[in-house]
Amino acid sequence: MTLRDGQTSGIFFDNTFKSTFDMRVDQTDYYSFKAEGGQLDYYICAGPSPKHVMEQYTSLTGRMPLPPKWGLGYHQSRYSYETEEEVRELIKTFSEKDIPVDAIHLDIHYMNGYRVFTFDGSRFPNPEKLISDMKEKGIRIVPIVDPGVKVDAEYPIYQEGVTNDLFCKYIEGNIFFGDVWPGKSAFPDFTKEQARKWWGKKHEFYTDKGIEGIWNDMNEPAVFNETKTMDVEVMHDNDGDPKTHRELHNVYGYLMGEATYEGMKDLLNGKRPFLLTRAGYAGVQKYAAVWTGDNRSFWEHLEMAIPMCLNLGLSGVAYSGPDVGGFAHDSNGELLARWTQFGAFTPFFRNHSAIEFVYQEPWQFGEKYEEVIKKYIQLRYKWLPHLYKLFKDASETGVPVMRPLFMEYPNDEETYQLFDQFLIGSNVMIAPVLRPGVNDRMVYLPEGVWYDYWTGDKLEGGKRIIAHAELDHLPIYVKSGTILPEANVKPSTAHEVDHMTIHIYPDEASTSYDLYDDDGETFNYEQDDYFSLNITVNHEDGNVSVDTTVNNQQYQPKWKDITYVVHGISSDVQLVYNGQKVDFEERNGTLSFNKSW
């Protein structure tokens, strides 16, 4: 994407061979891109704005489906939670500490000898009961599924792959074997429709147990050899048009995602699958969320996660996030607290840590840090109505949830190089603290009036400010003209919200917001089974009018009552709701009143 003098264009280089983009800073006249083979196919996205480029690019490569609500909650993972008892104790602790959680991820130790589509009978003697008991509490299990199939003549998955010619092979016809977690393994040829359908259907093993989400890892594909991947001489069927792995390496993870997602969708009887992947190609957003891989518990990796997620969003992947707290090396309380503050606003929100390093669940570093971490996990659940609306928008336009500042301010050159703060939607600024022992940071506020989310103080934009941020404080700023919904906090998204608060930050112009809701787990919204409430606010002569219109109520949410909170307005104004003057309560510099939709 190129941004110059406020005008934006994009280039999509659609080539599956190993590609190189040469963006050297010492090269002032031109940048270049190339590939090792194939055709020089590329598309120009003409813009002229960053949002136009995103809409044009995703019209080519596809847009993400609306995820299930539980996929947007807080996820807890470790490599590995190794037994059913450990998982049950984990859930018990979340409940006792009143910390919301929606999903527990199971890494490779849940399997029998790392064989995919199995559970270890000694570690997990009754997975159906575990999954059922967890779902009663509103929590899902997400097991990892890797592409490597253990070579074992008595293993049905391996038998079927060999018998039906579904594995990757050399041109001479012998199967490619590589060492991964199970040891010597074969790899499904996902370029072959028969293999994709077979692999997708095999997920019945999980869906029959009540599982609705899958985690694809090692799908570059990763192999424990010198090259770290499959031999480039391996041939792929490519649906009757054979190609080498040298050409198709970059789409292997993408096609595994397609096989998994479509298989799960067919098996879940109308429910939305959740899929997480480590690898993909342009268009992977149609099938999976993407996490940023095996990071480290370093402050530098916390800082790096911001541009990584922003660039994924600019590449069509609106649903992304890093391993909160860092995957490898030992985290600590301050790092986990600051990372959780940031993670509460990444589209995908998962804490994940590696074997042989310290556990990093929210309570592991003492009450001081647990209190902060809990506060921001709960904040994620308060903000879910707004995040869900942004995901709905992303599914329709391709414009990401988490945005670089230049996306909204392409004419402001001060925003072009900013990488340590970001926007949620068009009008909420998040500025995480990214260094240990730091309680103050510089924040750039673009033009306009901004409200401190926590204090309600008004700040003039178009300049940098110093934000004071003790350990429990994440700097958040809301631009005037914003309407922001918040839910009451529940233990998980399976517990329906029963009250909504609408925060209004008026400016001198009319502003509106479409509050969106649906059942959060099926595709019924595609048949107009959703709820939409338009809220329009006018601020004239010091007075504020709020007008609401129910656009669609084929789906009716549990919540009926709404508290409207108006910020930055003096108490001597007149508040009008749907043409009628309303009485209000003044509290902490805000005016509030209650209504039902």
Active-site residue identified among 82, 212, 217, 517: 217
* Contacts of 49 by beta carbon, 8 Å cutoff, 6+ apart: 8, 410
CA distance 97 to 80: 22
**How does DSSP classify residue 118?**
-
CA distances 427 to 404, 482, 505, Å, are: 11, 7, 11
Q: Name 115's bridge partners.
A: 112
Q: Name 338's bridge partners.
A: none
Active-site residue identified among 231, 266, 294, 452: 294
CA distances 346 to 93, 308, 343, Å, are: 24, 11, 5
| Burial degree of 527 (CB within 10 A; 0-12, 13-18, 19+) | exposed
Residue-wise burial string across 309-343, b where 16 or more C-beta atoms lie within 10 A, e elsewhere:
bbebbbbbbbbbbbbbbbbbeebbbbbbbbbbbbb
The letter for the amino acid at 76 is: Q
Please confirm, yes or no, whether 294 is among the known catalytic residues. Answer: yes
CA distance 306 to 420: 6
* Contacts of 86 by beta carbon, 8 Å cutoff, 6+ apart: none
CA distance 294 to 347: 18
Contacts 24+ apart (CB under 8 A), 411-420: 411/6, 412/446, 412/447, 414/444, 414/446, 415/444, 415/446, 416/3, 418/444, 419/306, 419/307, 419/310, 420/303, 420/306
The residue to which tokens 């809301």 are assigned: 478
Peptide bond into 80 cis (omega under 30): yes
Give the 3-state secondary structure percentages of the chain, helix then strand then coil, rounded to 5.
Answer: 25, 30, 45
The letter for the amino acid at 545 is: S
Active-site residue identified among 107, 189, 220, 361: 220
CA distance 143 to 313: 25
| Residue 538 phi, psi dihedral angles, 5° rounding | -120, 135
Cα 13 versus chain centre, distance: 25
CA distance 423 to 431: 9
Element holding 179 (H helix, E strand)? strand 177-180
| Burial degree of 397 (CB within 10 A; 0-12, 13-18, 19+) | middle
Please confirm, yes or no, whether 120 is among the known catalytic residues. Answer: no
Evaluate whether 500 touches 561 at the Cβ level (below 8 Å): yes
Please confirm, yes or no, whether 220 is among the known catalytic residues. Answer: yes
| Burial degree of 153 (CB within 10 A; 0-12, 13-18, 19+) | exposed
Provide the annotated active-site residues.
217, 220, 294
